[in-house]
Structure 1
Amino acid sequence: MINTDSSFYQVAIYLPDRYSWYTIGSLEAPFRVANDILGAEKFRCVYITPVGEQAFSESSHLPNSMLLSDTFECDLLAVVSDSVPDEAVSALEKKKLQHFYQQGKTILASYGGVFWLAESGLLHQQRAAVHWALMDRFSERYDSIELSDHLYERDKRLITTAGLAATLDCLVDFLEETEGQELAYAVSDQLCMDRIRPAQERQRLPFKQFGGDIQPRLTMAVELMENNLEEPLSTDEIAELVHISRRQLERLFKRYLDTMPARYYLQLRLKRARQLLLTTHTSIVQIGLLCGFSSGPHFSSAYKAYYHMTPREERSKMLQAK
């Protein structure tokens, strides 16, 4: 049994199926960097692997490795897999996940790991962030669970992330909430993150997945938006340039992106504005103009509605953490 000393926060990383060293690194890196910055072992990671025939030979190379059947404690349990379970999740896996949740622990699931949470009944009536490549399979198995195309979802003590990059954003955000802005920004700087993406940011979907004769029109429309942030085009102008009607364009956006063209365009401009706020010294007024906002009040109002803070508050928050 690994005893959890109250002086550190223990993260148990469960690897139920195939995984890569990149998978492990993306989960452990924020905590390792935080320890280095703090000059103390505030966070400790241990690895948990399946038992019996489920076990993988790679697990023998993992530091601080234990079997799922062993007795262990943790503050955060992360379930991550590079694949979707081919067979039913074992009774032991369900029991362990349910046990830790009932004990008040936080559980995070990344990429295929979200399937283990769903199989254990922990996502009942919850929104789950699922990587776009897994959405069809997930909805086929769990049609009662609401899908989210956000980078990650945090509902009390359950966290689902769309992939490893999204997990990195989520963990840095988690550090900001638990340890403060200064440490979170220092960790993100060490990891060369140009910004900490918020949970509600949508996954960037590869449009080639949509297929069909009409798909190139959607790709063209999004590319027009991305290339015309400073002087936004109207929805009618975009429809005309991609040679379809406005109504057809709106149907495409609603079907594949679950939003309307104007709303998607606004989000692109706001995300670009946030990136400039956090990574440049350009004035707030100039950033608003560069991102297609005709006035300071218009920019501030739209930014606050989406990010729940004004551009000035966003930049002040960043400067205070430096």
Structure 2
Amino acid sequence: MGNPLSNDSSQRKPHRFGFLLLPNFSLIAFSSAIEPLRMANWVTGEDCYETVLISHDGEAVSSSFGVQTLVDCSLKDIPPLDAIFVCGASPIARTGNEAVIGWLRRQGQANVALGGIGTGSYLLACAGLLNDYRATIHWWDLDALREEFPGTQVTNNLYEIDGNRYTCSGGTASMDMMLFLIGQHYDMNLAAKISEQFICERMRTSDDQQRIPLKARIGASQPKLIEAVTLMEANIEEPLSTDDLAFHVGVSRRHLERLFKKHLQTVPSKYYLELRLEKARQMLRQSDKPALQVGLACGFSSASYFSTAYRNHYGVTPREERKRAAETEERQPAGTQFGRSTLISN
């Protein structure tokens, strides 16, 4: 769409985003979503974005931190909007949402772009607005979303942009999603400038996945398994042998292997290798270290061993991974009261 820093930007109509705040909404997810929009206006000196804060009845809404946030309007008197983002409750409020769900359905019928921030994705799914769409939600609620809404293509990604449906996992992932949308509306240069203002190391893409804690996957009933994995994560550069892991955890090698097979469907050595390769992939994408240094930092004794293991697992060599990541980055950007503010500007 051209350079937002050019003179032509003053001729554009601002994008108007509505944020529907549900009681007990996540404050960090909400602020991470609106701050990039405010910064877009500040960096360009133009009104690139307007925001409208909405509640069910037009009254202030309490966040998960107890902060009362003033809003601009109720569901009955919203102005025309380009997109509406549902800032969901934390944890999910599964009852009392009938009026909001009906209202969301009407917005979908009007072809308004709809987004879910954190558990806001759950309400969109309840309204049938994520059927046949890719969508995501916080890792805590992934399984529930998959089970309750089989028509939704639920992913573990940080965020998903599928047509005019925008969903993210919450937390700081809402900033990544907004940076991506800003890059689409304007250009990558503006998104990068905003990222720099927030001391954001990099703009994560929709391919980046949430890290689901092991305790959440298998529960707390297997302390020896969790202890073994914790040891693996703490010893990436100099991997421990399976015998050493078993010794430090206080079980036999055979028992440790049974635990991994039963709960993780793999053996300790393979799980450990995948952890190291995952760390290597992160380093290749986020640092400028030579591939050999990355391999050594992740416990691979030679470049050939690292390259072979990486290619067998990911289908590309470390050098090809870095090149692909660079190409992707070029294409994708990636009780106190708050005052009411419809227009976010400098």
TM tier, shorter chain?
A: 0.7 to 0.9
Q: Assess if the C-alpha contact under 8 Å between 1:304 and 1:311 holds in 2.
A: no
- Is 1:112 matched with 2:119? yes
Aligned-pair CA distance for 1:32: 1.3
Alignment deviations for residues 151-172 of structure 1 (CA, whole Å, 9 cap, x no partner)? 2333322232222222222222
Amino acid at match of 2:257: R
Matched, 1:16 2:22: yes
* AA at the equivalent of 2:37: F
**Match among 27, 30, 34 for residue 28 of structure 1:** 34
Structure-2 residue corresponding to 1:288:
295
Partner residue of 2:206 out of 187, 199, 202: 199
**Can you list the C-alpha shifts for 1:244-297, whole angstroms capped at 9, x where unaligned?**
34353033124xxxx886776566445534554465442233223323454264
Structure 1 315/300 Cα, relative in aligned 2: closer, same or farther at 3 Å?
Answer: farther
Tell me by how many angstroms 1:15 deviates: 0.9
Output the amino acid matched with 1:220.
E
Distance in 2, Cα, partners of 1:70 & 1:267: 52
- In structure 1, C-alpha distance between the alignment counterparts of 2:97 and 2:83, rounded to whole Å: 20
Return closer, same or farther for 1:168/1:25 CA change in 2, 3 Å cut-off: same
Q: Which of residues 143, 148, 154 is equivalent to 2:161?
A: 154
Aligned to 2:257: 246
After superposition, the Cα gap between the structure-2 partners of 1:128 and 1:319, relative to the gap in structure 1 and judged at 3 Å, is closer
Distance in 2 between the 1:57 and 1:170 partners?
24
* Partner SS for 1:69: helix
Tell me whether 1:87 sits opposite 2:80 in the alignment. no
Is 2:51 the counterpart of 1:40? no
Q: Please identify, of 299-308 and 279-288, the stretch whose mean Cα deviation from structure 2 is larger.
A: 299-308
Residues 257, 267 of structure 2: 8 Å contact kept: no
Distance 2:81 2:267 in 1: 43
Q: Quickly say closer, same or farther: Cα 1:227–1:200, change in 2 above 3 A.
A: same
**1:192 positional shift:** 1.9
Scaled by the length of structure 2, the TM-score of the pair is 0.71
Higher relative contact order (CA 8 A, sep 6+): 2
Code of the residue aligned with 2:321 in structure 1: it is T
Q: Which moved more, 1:28-37 or 1:170-179?
A: 170-179
Length-normalised TM-score, structure 1: 0.76
Q: CA deviation at 1:12?
A: 0.8
Unaligned runs of 5+ residues in structure 2 are 1-10, 334-346
Cα RMSD (Å): 3.9
1:2-43 CA-partner distances (Å, limit 9, x unpaired): xxx952111111113223543431110111122222221212
Matches within 5 A, 1:1-322: 7-19=13-25, 21-51=27-57, 55-56=59-60, 62=70, 65-83=72-90, 84-91=92-99, 93-135=100-142, 138=145, 141-142=148-149, 145=152, 147-209=154-216, 210-213=218-221, 215-232=222-239, 242=249, 243=251, 244-254=255-265, 265=272, 268-277=275-284, 280-293=287-300, 294-295=302-303, 297-298=307-308, 301=311, 305=316, 310-315=321-326
Alpha-carbon distance in structure 1 between the residues aligned to 2:107 and 2:316? 36
Identity %: 29
Structure 1 Cα separation of the partners of residues 134 and 206 of structure 2: 13
SS at match of 2:28: helix
Does the aligned pair in 2 maintain the 1:152–1:199 contact within 8 Å? yes
Amino acid in structure 2 at the alignment position of 1:27: A
**Which is greater in Rg?**
2
Q: Which moved more, 1:106-115 or 1:268-277?
A: 268-277
Q: Secondary structure at the match of 2:35?
A: helix
Q: Report the 3-state secondary structure (helix = DSSP H, G, I; strand = E; otherwise coil) of the residue aligned with 1:122.
A: coil
| Aligned partner of residue 123 in structure 2, secondary structure | helix
CA contact (8 A) 2:284 2:321 kept: no
Distance 1:128 1:239 in 2: 40
The structure-2 alpha-carbon separation of the partners of 1:107 and 1:226, relative to structure 1 and needing over 3 Å to count, comes to same
Q: How many aligned residue pairs are there?
A: 308
Query: 271-280 or 165-174: which moved more?
Result: 271-280
Contact 2:291 2:319 in 1 (8 A): no
State how far apart, in whole Å, the 2-side matches of 1:32 and 1:113 are.
22
The whole-number CA distance in structure 2 between the counterparts of 1:236 and 1:159 is 47
Q: Distance in 2 between matches of 1:147 and 1:263?
A: 26
Whether contact under 8 Å (2:19, 2:51) holds in the other structure is yes
Give the secondary-structure state (helix, strand or coil) at the position aligned to 2:73.
Answer: strand
